[in-house]
Amino acid sequence: MLHFECDYVMGAHPKILAKFTETNMEAYPGYGNDPYTASAKEKVKNACGNPDAEVHLLTGGTQTNKIVIDSMLRSYEGVIAATTGHVSLHEAGAIEASGHKVLQIQGKDGKLCAEDVEKYIENFYADPSHEHMVFPGMVYISHPTEYGTLYTKAELKALSEVCKKFDIPLFMDGARLGYGLMSKNTDVTLADINELCDVFYFGGTKVGALCGEAVVFTHKNTPKHFFTFIKQNGALLAKGRLLGVQFDTLFTDGLYFEISKNAIEMAEKLKKIFTEKGYELFINSPTNQQFIILNNAKMAELQEKVVFEFWERLDEDRAVVRFCTSWATTEKDLEELSKII
């Protein structure tokens, strides 16, 4: 059976496991005070090329979104997100459970448009009864989005300008950030993200780690007592080394970027394989998630040999399905896929 259903189907990059084994019997203080966590933070900061970056390690995406958003908002504020955003739909109400409304705006291909955000906030302040409403206190975007798409540098800049205009932070969910940075069709660099976002994260869970997200506050703007926020949310690991070792490994010698690049190359080949055989793409995604249109018969046929994800029904006869590559996808996987389809 071939596996293309998601990018968290395998364990961790072997170098991570090797490092766990190598450091296992070293005795270290808990709660992130170990040297690997310190080293990981330093390496992430260096990768950002941003001396004002402050790095924190958390366990998963929903957890990270919840803690970052709650720690940066006041009770009367909500977070603007695309209707298709992960925080809008697929986090079981985690943001609302911390008391904040997700202010949903219709996006396009998973992306928020700066103009729409600006108009939303302008309308809010123009409304004479806006003090009876939830204040827009932050903008949340995912990059890559849930549809594998990427913001252009111009789009990101425009969003950042709207945020600055209204003095609210721009937060980038980078659960798949590696795949975004290594895309062949992006003009957004890590330096841009450090400049344009107030906070973002490098997803580890979907890019070669067993778990973990590295949050970066870009201008010494970590909320006060962020550590206690983490603890209060049940997100503090006693063995902080679990995250420290993983990010230390991923950010040594550019491993994070190298394995992201592999996923991109495999995705491009996968896309080529499908299109050359006449399959239609639903979205021309520049990252590791590829959305293919299949008719029902073909879908049933393929499901016997490949695992992929049903995304949504297009019409009675056709569905959109998702194929993901990852750090672990090999040329051999694609050769086999090519034979099957």
- How far apart are alpha carbons 84 and 145 in whole angstroms? 9
What is each CA distance from 60 to 65, 84, 148, in whole angstroms? 9, 19, 19
Interface with its own copies (CB under 8 A), residue total 80
Site for its own copies in 152-191 (CB under 8 A): none
* Least distance to its own copies, CB of residue 223, Å: 8
- 35 lines the binding site for its own copies (CB under 8 A): no
Which of 108, 231, 272, 339 is the binder for its own copies (CB under 8 A)?
A: 231
Residue among 259, 129, 267 at smallest CA distance from 203: 259
Q: Using the minimum distance from each CB to its own copies, give the nearer residue, 208 or 286.
A: 208
Judged by CB under 8 A, which stretch of 111-119, 176-184, 221-229, 265-273 contacts its own copies? 221-229
Indicate the length of the chain as a whole number.
341
- 228 lines the binding site for its own copies (CB under 8 A): yes
Contacts (Cβ under 8 Å, ≥6 apart) of 173 = 61, 64, 65, 85, 86, 87, 140, 141, 142, 143, 200, 201
Q: Using the minimum distance from each CB to its own copies, give the nearer residue, 130 or 272.
A: 130
Which of 47, 48, 121, 135 is the binder for its own copies (CB under 8 A)?
A: 135
Neighbours of 313 (CB within 10 A): 11
* Least distance to its own copies, CB of residue 187, Å: 29
- How far apart are alpha carbons 29 and 263 in whole angstroms? 35
Residue among 36, 88, 31, 33 at smallest CA distance from 65: 88
- 215 lines the binding site for its own copies (CB under 8 A): no
* Least distance to its own copies, CB of residue 153, Å: 29
Q: Using the minimum distance from each CB to its own copies, give the nearer residue, 210 or 267.
A: 210
Which of 37, 50, 59, 186 is the binder for its own copies (CB under 8 A)?
A: 59
Site for its own copies in 235-274 (CB under 8 A): 235-239, 241-242
Spatial contact of 135 and 78, defined as CB atoms under 8 Å apart: yes
Alpha helices in the chain (DSSP H): 14-23, 35-48, 61-72, 86-89, 94-97, 114-126, 153-165, 177-181, 190-196, 226-232, 241-250, 255-276, 296-302, 331-340
Residue among 266, 148, 249 at smallest CA distance from 208: 249
* Least distance to its own copies, CB of residue 282, Å: 18
Instruction: Please give the full DSSP string across 91-142, using - where no structure is assigned.
Output: STTHHHHTT--EEEE--BTTB--HHHHHHHHHHHHHSTTGGGS-EEEEEEEE
- 315 lines the binding site for its own copies (CB under 8 A): no
Question: What is the x/- site pattern for its own copies, positions 279-308, by CB under 8 A?
Answer: ----------------------------x-
* Least distance to its own copies, CB of residue 148, Å: 17
* Least distance to its own copies, CB of residue 258, Å: 18
- 277 lines the binding site for its own copies (CB under 8 A): no
- 314 lines the binding site for its own copies (CB under 8 A): no
* Least distance to its own copies, CB of residue 213, Å: 11
Which of 37, 50, 84, 104 is the binder for its own copies (CB under 8 A)?
A: 104
Spatial contact of 150 and 180, defined as CB atoms under 8 Å apart: yes
Judged by CB under 8 A, which stretch of 1-9, 46-54, 176-184, 292-300 contacts its own copies? 1-9
At 36, phi and psi to the nearest 5? -70, -35
Site for its own copies in 66-85 (CB under 8 A): 66-67, 70-71, 74-76, 78
